[in-house]
Chains A and B, each alone.
Chain A
Amino acid sequence: MNLTIRHDQAVNVDAVPASPAHKTPFVRELPDGLSRLHLMVDNIHCAGCIRKIEKALHDTPGVARARVNLSTRRLVVDWTPSAIRARDLIDIVTELGFPAAPFDPDAFGTKDETAERRLLLSMAVAGFAAANVMLLSVSVWSGHDGSMGVATRDLFHWISALIALPAIVYAGQPFFRSAWAALSRRQLNMDVPISLAVVLAAGMSLYQTAVSGQHAYFDAAVGLLFFLLIGRYLDQRARTKARSAAQHLIRLTATGANILMQDGTVRSVAVNDLSPGMTMVVAAGERLAADGLVTKGRSAVDNSLMTGESMPVDIGPEDRVYAGTINLTAPIEVRIEAAGDDSLLAEIVRLVEAAEQGRARYVRIADRVARIYAPAVHVLAAIAFVGWLIAGADWMTALMTAVAVLIITCPCALGLAVPTAQTVASGLLMRHGVLLKSGDGLERLAATDVCVFDKTGTLTLGRPELVNRDAIDAEDLAISAALARRSRHPLCQALANAAGVQTGRTVTDISELSGRGIEGVVDGETINLGSAAWLGVDRGQHPPHSVEDDGCSEVWMVRDGRPSVVFRFRDTLRPDARATVEQLRGMGIAVRILSGDRRNIVDSFAAQIGIDPADCEAESLPAAKAEQVRALTDAGHKVLMVGDGLNDAPALAEGYASMSPATAANVSQTAADVIFQGESLMAVADTINLARATNRTVIQNFGLAFTYNLFAVPLAMAGVVTPLFAAIAMSGSSIVVVANSLRLGLLKWGKRS
């Protein structure tokens, strides 16, 4: 076993006191002489966290400002560079229990933020215009009985035009651009009829105003834009949120490496300039920048990124280490074998991307509707135009009717149908600790019929627990727990937890030897806890391993002159794993296990949660896992993959939909559609339930929007639609759709059929 001190993840910002010209890319100089550092911070949840971080930084000499952004989990610090190093600022935050990593604000997320801001501005402008134009329109309608003079009406129309036209030019751009992009690819999307309707309505209204006619549709055109922009903004916000979660991936990449030169000096080299054959010096607590073989030094690495296993792994000369993992205890030298795009990390990210491209072929419900709907709308408008011409109307009347059809058939209700339902659903999910990463993830989740679970960290908690408690003397347990409590090693923590709360023992003279064990004096007696090899335990004196003990981690304890005691630890099942499996089956979803673990262990777990061993695949490598998922897909199933390790990432991306626990490796979280927190596995079943309810709501919404069309389109084609009717019908149908979506929020979380 490996007994090590686990360091918190600190990233190397300015580890190298290189030449003054050497600047880190993360620190910005402000005009007032201060420097600014942008950090991504994990584990922030509430006001307490914000306060703790900001207070700690404000109390640090040299720090002028510190501001946490809870929405994006980011932190901006302004400080005097001469007073404290950037690295120390990061350490302060990290030591509070919030792992922090610097990032380059120019490279991350600014595009999304600009887009979101732009939409919000467009929405504000459209809202302002819609309100004011509507005010004038209402006056015109009230004067429709002849009490308003023609001159006044024309004046009102001109003022409406003055407000509406600039607003349309500005606020309509998101739609015009998208429509143009689709047309230049010779495709139709929902934005094409929207843009056409808005442009034609504005153009016609302007003409009517100029010739002193009465059919001005400015209110309809601007109102349409305003409602659609609301839907667009909700959609964009959901996507930005999902992406900012994925951006935390950058915590995986080291910022640079210290390379040992021929002449024995150490130089800092950027990640991009690393090449095989170089030797890098990795300090304790640093993230590895490339794959390679250890040449000098012994240490332990945190491989959780790669395997999802929380246990540090001991390494020594000739052992292979991977980019993105963290060197924990002692400095090592590594000969680089693969850097940058050739590293295993990059390889797995590529696998995930390749599989995700397959998923990108999924067509969202809204787009599927648009594919049928958009051509239908244009055909109807054309029929109305030609029909009226044939019927002997002048071309002006015919065109007006066609425009009315376009406006009427383009209800905001359609634009709001999906985003409102998904916003309500994702809000509900968020409140229950489930993070929805992609909007269409819910749509896909609702359709799944097979659920494949990974074992370690998914069905289990991925956290060791004492299994042979009955065989251990209570005094032995209490004494070793007192010592174990002083170590941060996962097995020691598990041992301390197993003993429960205890007081009254004095522990002194503690020394911890990385990778070996811990020594200390408990109540005057010297105790050693550690690996069998370090303690020189003679295994012959102990009963041999039983099958059950396979795969267990061991800690041995030696007390003066007493026989040595072994503590065995094993990963434990999530408390409601069995209930979840039954619940999923009740929902018509088949359950399977796909594990990299040994056959007999997988079978014993399967038996515990009621899964037939025939439905379990054991000893699967990452590529094999993805293969199995593809085989199921080819057999006509829609597979939901639930996994946590990096080894699951390709399978997660291959699945029709995918979920990961919040403890999962970062790459897996990126590949997954949905991330759930907490110990309960029931979140999987509950999320599918909500996804199905959301899909029902979306379909209802489309149904409502179409029903409205069923009545409105014939009226529009008959030419009896007045601007007033169009405006009321449009807002009415939108309100009905929004109300229907809000109904989703009343859904009881965890209510199971």
Chain B
Amino acid sequence: MNALVFLIPAALALGLAGLVAFVWSLKSGQFDDLDGAAERILDDEDD
């Protein structure tokens, strides 16, 4: 029973961290151009 006191908040915190990370990636425009990202990785020339 005592384990629950830590485990449930821990599970929730991990889930929330995932959610926050997703919201951040959405806000920072990482989902704006999925096709472009797939192509850009092929471009290996640095300049």
Q: Is the CB of A391 closer than 8 A to any CB of chain B? A: no
Q: A68-B36, A124-B26, A132-B11 are in contact. List 6 more A-B contacts (CB 8 A).
A: A50-B40, A50-B43, A69-B33, A121-B26, A128-B16, A159-B8
Using an 8 Å CB-CB cutoff, how does the interface string of B9-41 with A read, 1 for contact, 0 for none? Answer: 001100110110011001000011111100110
- Separation in Å of the A243 CB from the closest CB of chain B? 16
Nearest A-chain residue to B12, judged by Cβ = A132
Interface size class of B (residues with CB under 8 A): 20 to 34
Chain B residues contacting A163 (CB-CB under 8 Å) are 12
Chain B residues contacting A155 (CB-CB under 8 Å) are 4
* A132–B34 CB distance below 8 A: no
A-B contact pairs, 23 of them (CB 8 A): A46-B39, A47-B40, A51-B43, A51-B45, A55-B47, A69-B32, A70-B33, A70-B35, A70-B36, A70-B39, A71-B32, A71-B34, A72-B32, A120-B26, A121-B23, A124-B19, A128-B16, A132-B11, A132-B12, A132-B15, A135-B11, A152-B1, A155-B4
* B23–A71 CB distance below 8 A: no
- Separation in Å of the B29 CB from the closest CB of chain A? 9
B interface residues (Cβ-Cβ under 8 A, vs A): 1, 4, 8, 11-12, 15-16, 18-19, 22-23, 26, 31-36, 39-40, 42-43, 45, 47
A interface residues (Cβ-Cβ under 8 A, vs B): 46-48, 50-51, 55, 68-72, 117, 120-121, 124-125, 128, 131-132, 135-136, 152, 155, 159, 163
Nearest B-chain residue to A151, judged by Cβ = B1
* B35–A47 CB distance below 8 A: no
Q: Classify the secondary structure of A's interface with B.
A: helix
Q: Classify the secondary structure of B's interface with A.
A: helix
Chain B residues contacting A152 (CB-CB under 8 Å) are 1, 4
Chain B residues contacting A136 (CB-CB under 8 Å) are 8
* B36–A124 CB distance below 8 A: no
* A71–B19 CB distance below 8 A: no
Cα distance A124–B17 when bound, in Å?
12
- Separation in Å of the A52 CB from the closest CB of chain B? 10
Cα distance A55–B40 when bound, in Å?
13
Cα distance A125–B35 when bound, in Å?
24
- Separation in Å of the A238 CB from the closest CB of chain B? 14
Chain B residues contacting A131 (CB-CB under 8 Å) are 15
Chain A residues contacting B4 (CB-CB under 8 Å) are 152, 155
Contact A47:B19 (CB < 8 A) given known A55-B47, A71-B36, A159-B8: no
* B36–A69 CB distance below 8 A: yes
* A50–B23 CB distance below 8 A: no
- Separation in Å of the A337 CB from the closest CB of chain B? 43
Cα distance A159–B8 when bound, in Å?
9
Chain B residues contacting A48 (CB-CB under 8 Å) are 43
- Separation in Å of the B9 CB from the closest CB of chain A? 10
* A47–B39 CB distance below 8 A: yes
Cross-interface CB contact of A71 among B11, B35, B43, cutoff 8 Å: B35
- Separation in Å of the B36 CB from the closest CB of chain A? 3
Nearest B-chain residue to A128, judged by Cβ = B19
Cα distance A50–B45 when bound, in Å?
13
Chain B residues contacting A70 (CB-CB under 8 Å) are 33, 35-36, 39
- Separation in Å of the A74 CB from the closest CB of chain B? 9
Cα distance A458–B1 when bound, in Å?
73
* B16–A50 CB distance below 8 A: no
* B31–A120 CB distance below 8 A: yes
Cross-interface CB contact of B33 among A71, A132, A135, cutoff 8 Å: A71
* B32–A50 CB distance below 8 A: no
Cα distance A97–B24 when bound, in Å?
36
Chain A residues contacting B42 (CB-CB under 8 Å) are 47
- Separation in Å of the A255 CB from the closest CB of chain B? 26
Cα distance A47–B44 when bound, in Å?
10
Cα distance A128–B23 when bound, in Å?
12
Chain A residues contacting B39 (CB-CB under 8 Å) are 46-47, 50, 70
Cα distance A427–B3 when bound, in Å?
48
Cα distance A47–B43 when bound, in Å?
6
Cα distance A204–B22 when bound, in Å?
31
Cα distance A159–B42 when bound, in Å?
46
- Separation in Å of the B16 CB from the closest CB of chain A? 7
Cα distance A132–B24 when bound, in Å?
20
* A125–B36 CB distance below 8 A: no
Cα distance A68–B26 when bound, in Å?
18
- Separation in Å of the B3 CB from the closest CB of chain A? 12
9 tightest A-B contacts by CB? A70-B36, A47-B39, A69-B33, A128-B19, A70-B35, A71-B35, A47-B42, A47-B43, A124-B22
Cα distance A128–B11 when bound, in Å?
11
- Separation in Å of the B45 CB from the closest CB of chain A? 8
Chain A residues contacting B36 (CB-CB under 8 Å) are 50, 68-71
* B43–A128 CB distance below 8 A: no
Cα distance A152–B26 when bound, in Å?
37
Chain A residues contacting B16 (CB-CB under 8 Å) are 128
- Separation in Å of the B5 CB from the closest CB of chain A? 11
Contact A117:B1 (CB < 8 A) given known A70-B39, A128-B15: no
Cα distance A135–B15 when bound, in Å?
11
